[in-house]
Amino acid sequence: MGRQGSGKGTQCVRLVEAYGMVHVSTGDMLRSAVASGTELGREAQAVMDAGNLVPDEVVNGIVAERLAMPDVVEHGVILDGFPRTPVQAQALEGILGSVGTPLAGALNLDVPVDVVIGRMLERGRVDDTEEAIRLRLDLYESETAPLLSWFEDRGMLRVVDGLGSEDEVFGRLCTIVDGILA
């Protein structure tokens, strides 16, 4: 977890390579639906263009379908961009329970707001205008930040300093993941 632009996607790819798990990015799944022009894609596009988060029921359905696939069941999963709310976290517990996989922990990459805004503007995605970025960060603070408390209350939250080189952050993450998997 972490603010948009905190490096979650980059670090997820590295963790997947190191641990042999499957990387599931809700952002990638939503952008794919938008690109393919499906009904869900059109709905998601309108919501994202306004700088808002896609509704829980839509995201939960997409994630549930993906987590039931054999590669995830066999190798485990690193989720990128999900859950974003306590409601989604509760849904995730149910989804994972239905496929016999426990929720092992939650990692939060902690990166200051000014740093993530700069990173997001540099990557040049169509939905990354400064206005939309600020709206998403405001939504993160009001809607997603309570998720940190949800995981912390269950003893599952690990906060990771997201500043520094990719290698430095990756080293910190691996230390924590090794502890979770031990």
Residues carrying an active site annotation: 8, 84, 123, 125, 136
- Rounded CA gap, 4 and 53, in Å? 12
Find where tokens 């939060």 sit. Answer: 108
Closest C-alpha to 20, from 56, 89, 67, 72: 72
Maximum Cα–Cα distance across the chain: 43
DSSP string spanning 7-57? SHHHHHHHHHHHH-PEEEEHHHHHHHHHHHT-HHHHHHHHHHHTTPPPPHH
